[in-house]
Amino acid sequence: LKTQIEKNLDSVKKRIAEAAVRSGRDPKDITLIAVTKNQPVNDIKKLLELGENNLGENRSKELLEKIEVIGTKPNWHFIGHLQRNKVRYIIPFVCLIQSVDSVSLATEIDRRAREINKVQDVLLEVNVSGEPTKAGFHPDEIESKAEEIASLKNVCVKGLMMMAPFIEETELLRKYFARLKKIFDNLADKQGLQIEMKYLSMGMTNDFEVAIEEGSNMVRIGTAIFKTPGGDIYA
């Protein structure tokens, strides 16, 4: 008998694949990040047994606690707001910091990565909707900031990330996702800019299909994977 997590995962993967096909792409081109924040270690282990290997956490303390128990075999993605004074603790263990939202944070990542001879892969977070409560670079400044961050030797910019606003209007969401895809393509085409635009990380439980239809190749999904049939998340 399939466990709830297995059923949820099957369904999420099917929906990802269908959205990929609708956007004319191979489902294999979409990377699923299973967001494990607030989830018990046993459920995360079940997920790893099912073959998932990319996990996302949004707080450094929780990330480090989970790593202590689960280890560094999975790829740990940091997806939340990162304080500069926490950078050095997580740097040895994370494969991708998706939420770089300032040059000063990137500079600290560069410094701490250099200390351990690592080149840290990062994504730059863009505040596409312009909500004052959201982190991220303004779309107008992303090109110059990307250039500045790309010059740091121990930081490697691999793409862009966004959090969409919590709204119901699919067509407005679609506009935000399309706007980031355009910024992503422009940066990728930019001559002389030493960055590889590989990952476009957008889409969560409520909006991942629209995000994929608009060009996302990395989705960060928590609730849809861990929910119980009643709609609650395992406590």
Residue ranges in contact with ligand PLP by CB under 6 A = 35, 37, 58, 79-80, 163, 204-206, 220-224
Nearer to ligand PLP, 109 or 162 (CB): 162
In whole angstroms, the minimum distance from the beta carbon of 74 to ligand PLP comes to: 16
What is the secondary structure of 163-214 as a DSSP string?
---S-S-HHHHHHHHHHHHHHHHHHHH-TT------EEE---TTTHHHHHHT
Q: How far apart are CA 132 and CA 152, in angstroms?
A: 28
Q: How far apart are CA 89 and CA 189, in angstroms?
A: 35
Nearer to ligand PLP, 53 or 151 (CB): 53
Nearer to ligand PLP, 114 or 227 (CB): 227
Nearer to ligand PLP, 79 or 200 (CB): 79
In whole angstroms, the minimum distance from the beta carbon of 232 to ligand PLP comes to: 13
Q: How far apart are CA 127 and CA 29, in angstroms?
A: 24
In whole angstroms, the minimum distance from the beta carbon of 71 to ligand PLP comes to: 22
96: helix, coil or strand?
Answer: strand
Q: What are phi and psi of 130, to 5 degrees?
A: 70, 15
Nearer to ligand PLP, 58 or 216 (CB): 58
Query: How many CB atoms lie under 10 A from the CB of residue 4?
Result: 15
Q: For tokens 């280890």, what's the residue?
A: 71
Residues 159, 198 contacting (CB under 8 angstroms): yes
In whole angstroms, the minimum distance from the beta carbon of 83 to ligand PLP comes to: 15
81: helix, coil or strand?
Answer: coil
Residues 227, 233 contacting (CB under 8 angstroms): yes
Amino acid identity of 120? Q
In whole angstroms, the minimum distance from the beta carbon of 1 to ligand PLP comes to: 25
In whole angstroms, the minimum distance from the beta carbon of 115 to ligand PLP comes to: 27
Nearer to ligand PLP, 23 or 205 (CB): 205
